[in-house]
Amino acid sequence: MAVERTLSIIKPDAVAKNVVGQIYARFEAAGLKVVAAKMKHLSRAEAEGFYAVHRERPFFKDLVDFMVSGPVMIQVLEGESAVLKNRELMGATDPKKADKGTIRADFADSIDANAVHGSDSAENAAIEVAYFFPSSEVYSR
Ligand code: RTP
Ligand code: MG
């Protein structure tokens, strides 16, 4: 297995619920290290740019509206198979379909307000990490 990095975002719903620490605890328990982090209230342009692959999808406007509705917590996670491990911790996109014990099953309310984002491939992870963090702000350990 290879050590990877992945981009994680704790979305506005979960920040508002004050469960940032509980979500970080799950990353740590799974062996993922936080190697960069910041809280940020995204502008529309930042949210649209981040989710640009979904620009033509019917849910794009709702997604952007939601992502700019409050501050988010953005972090880079590092560890063995970090991309897949984080996706497993997150659970399915729709919390109603997410396995018991996953972040989305436990903290998300709907497919829009679904608590977390995680990169879906190592290739996209590299792009997404660079979108929010210059390499000087990622502290590999
Ligand atoms: P994310 O990118 O946020 O980690 O979520 P994901 O990979 O599990 O899902 P993705 O297909 O990338 O979709 C991005 C976000 O758009 C919203 N969505 N709504 N109404 C719908 O059918 C629908 N499908 C997706 C979700 O909030 C999803 O997290
Ligand atoms: Mg996605």
Binding site members for ATP: 11, 59, 87, 93, 104, 114
CA distance 117 to 10: 7
Strands across the sheet containing 72-80: 33-40, 72-80, 3-10, 116-118
| Catalytic residue check, 117 | yes
Å from CA of 120 to ligand 2 middle: 6
Ligand 1 atom closest to the Cα of residue 11 is 3
pLDDT above 90: residue 90:
yes
Q: Work out whether the CA dihedral 134, 30, 86, 67 comes out positive or negative.
A: negative
- Average pLDDT estimate for 3-14: 98
Nearest-CA residue for atom 23 of ligand 1:
59
Q: Over the stretch 104-124, which tens digit does the pLDDT of each residue have?
A: 999 999 999 999 999 999 999
- Average pLDDT estimate for 119-131: 98
Q: Over the stretch 38-75, which tens digit does the pLDDT of each residue have?
A: 999 999 999 999 999 999 999 999 999 999 999 999 99
Q: Is 138 in the pocket of ligand 1 (CB under 6 A)?
A: no
Strand partners, 3: 80
* Mean pLDDT score of the chain: 97
Q: Is 117 in the pocket of ligand 1 (CB under 6 A)?
A: yes
76, 10 contact by CB (below 8 A) = no
Q: Over the stretch 22-38, which tens digit does the pLDDT of each residue have?
A: 999 999 999 999 999 99
- Average pLDDT estimate for 80-95: 98
pLDDT recorded at residue 104: 98
